[in-house]
Structure 1
Amino acid sequence: MDKKNGKNSFHNMKKTLVWLDLENCRVPRDLPKKNVYPRIKKTLREDGYGGKLKIKIVMLFEDCEVPEPLLKKMSLIRVTNYPRPSASESEERNDNQIVDDFIKLDITKWLHTKPKPHNVMIPSSNVDFSDIARKVKKKGHSFLMAYDDNRTDKNQKKESAAKLLKLAECDWTWRKSLGLPKYQLNQDLR
């Protein structure tokens, strides 16, 4: 909103759909969980995205608890009821990839419904969403990205993230999308 003359200055009023991989983009310790939704909404609005906001939290393990404050304004999707792998299984399974694959499939299914133009946002520390970003854009939607640069492998980030971020109409670090400073002394240790 333009405070000087009271006019709406949003350049984009499309609805924004967010697929949040909570295991890869954790809520920082210095942010109350109840503030995730309003902070993302505020960041979007400050950058000109004034449409409605819907956030889907995507979780893998059936025993992972999602704090109640997050569920007040966001929906929860359990990929499937995957049991937590044993230590020996962990080395063989890439659980992060399961959630990524689910997000890609869920977005693809959504695209097949031929929705009117939306903004599609994926907060993640993984950078392998280039194909789905291209599909989203090809169907007339905007692609937005929030990346957790503290959890992204630095070498992978330099190569793959640069390609992915070029596809994004707008991008933020995960902390910036939550309205937080880049670093702080008691930063969430991962």
Structure 2
Amino acid sequence: MNTAEMAEGQYVRAKTAVWWDIENCQVPKGFDAHVIAQNIILALMEMNYCGPVSISAYGDTSGIAPAIQHALSSTGIALNHVPAGVKDASDKKILVDMLFWALDNPAPANFMLISGDRDFSNALHGLRMRRYNILLAHPRKASVPLIQAATTTWLWTSLLTGGSPLSQGKGSQRVANAKTSGNATSSPQNQYPDPPRPAGPSHVRQSYPNPDPSWNNAIPNAATPVASNMRPLCPNAARQLCPNAIRRHRQEKLAQALPLLIFLFVGLFLVSIKDIAMF
């Protein structure tokens, strides 16, 4: 009996990016590669993932039969050639592309990894802490930490035929609830409070003069120029942001990107340490 849970509401229509380590999870001999993309999408739809799907495969394409390459490319799978000779080169390429995709596609979104390599476990756990939904398809022999990072898991041989998942991942308790409740207390309206109102009857509306002389000259009976102790407004505020707003926007973007970049560097560092230890 399938014990995997269906997609949560916030992930139903979200994008799903599929990252396929084609060297770790190969196309079985004699299998029709034309149906793999369609079967992956069908398996996702069976779990109620109905958003746009992109599939990227990574590996040394020189070792893949031309007929299989053509079948994958013709069905919308992006083939990324990673030359052989460098240890874990495909894993590093996937990690970089995967985390840069996260920068351009904030949560909620779905990550599906097709691999059994534990080198991905740290990055997947970090992405899950950022409220991304993690899906995994793996060979029969796979890393336990990698499986624990996923909410739903498939055997690779089942996914490529459009089959059902094994079960919900062991690490399925989400941290999104805490983040969502924490973010609910702060709204955009609270970040820009109204200016203080002078004392007086509550029914009297106070006018705030615009400091731009061109505006005052263009409007008949315009208010007098702003007092020197008042904070001036930016001219043409309807068409451009104030310098402070631009600076605040850049700081917010940097704060969002920094944790993902840290996960990227940590993942690449661990892979490099592994290479040194094996050498």
Do these two structures clear the TM 0.5 threshold for a shared fold by scoring above it? yes
- Could you tell me how far apart the structure 2 residues matched to 1:17 and 1:180 are? 17
Q: 1:125 aligns with which of 116, 138, 145?
A: 116
Instruction: Specify every segment of 5 or more residues in structure 2 that has no aligned partner in the other structure, as ranges.
Output: 1-5, 164-279
- Could you tell me how far apart the structure 2 residues matched to 1:133 and 1:116 are? 14
CA deviation after TM superposition for structure 1 residue 112, in Å:
2.8
Higher RCO structure, 1 or 2 (CA under 8 Å, sep 6+): 1
Q: Does 1:67 align with 2:69?
A: yes
Once the two structures are aligned, what percentage of the paired residues are identical?
Answer: 25
Q: 1:179 aligns with which of 161, 164, 167?
A: 161
The correspondence of residues 1-190 of structure 1 with structure 2, limited to 5 A, is 11=8, 12-60=12-60, 64=64, 65=66, 67-72=69-74, 73-79=76-82, 82=83, 84-85=84-85, 94=87, 97-149=88-140, 152=141, 157=142, 161-179=143-161
SS of match in other structure, 1:31: coil
CA deviation after TM superposition for structure 1 residue 116, in Å:
4.3
Instruction: Tell me the residue number matched to 2:274.
Output: none
- Could you tell me how far apart the structure 2 residues matched to 1:142 and 1:52 are? 15
Q: Please tell me whether Structure 1 or Structure 2 has the larger radius of gyration of its CA atoms.
A: 2
Normalising by structure 1, we get a TM-score of 0.70
Normalising by structure 2, we get a TM-score of 0.49
Aligned residue identity for 1:31: F
- Could you tell me how far apart the structure 2 residues matched to 1:114 and 1:42 are? 23
Which runs of 4 or more aligned residues in structure 1 lie more than 6 Å from their structure 2 counterparts after TM superposition? none
Contact 2:135 2:152 in 1 (8 A): yes
Aligned residue identity for 1:143: I
Cα 1:13–1:120 change in 2 (3 A) is same
Contact 1:111 1:139 in 2 (8 A): no
Aligned residue identity for 2:139: D
- Could you tell me how far apart the structure 1 residues matched to 2:27 and 2:17 are? 18
CA deviation string 1:12-51 (max 9, x = no partner): 2211101111111111235310010011111111122121
Aligned residue identity for 2:77: M
Aligned residue identity for 1:44: L
- Could you tell me how far apart the structure 2 residues matched to 1:141 and 1:21 are? 20
CA deviation after TM superposition for structure 1 residue 61, in Å:
5.4
State the Cα RMSD in Å: 2.4
Contact 1:10 1:50 in 2 (8 A): no
- Could you tell me how far apart the structure 1 residues matched to 2:102 and 2:45 are? 24
- Could you tell me how far apart the structure 1 residues matched to 2:33 and 2:129 are? 34
Contact 1:10 1:45 in 2 (8 A): no
Count of equivalent residues: 152
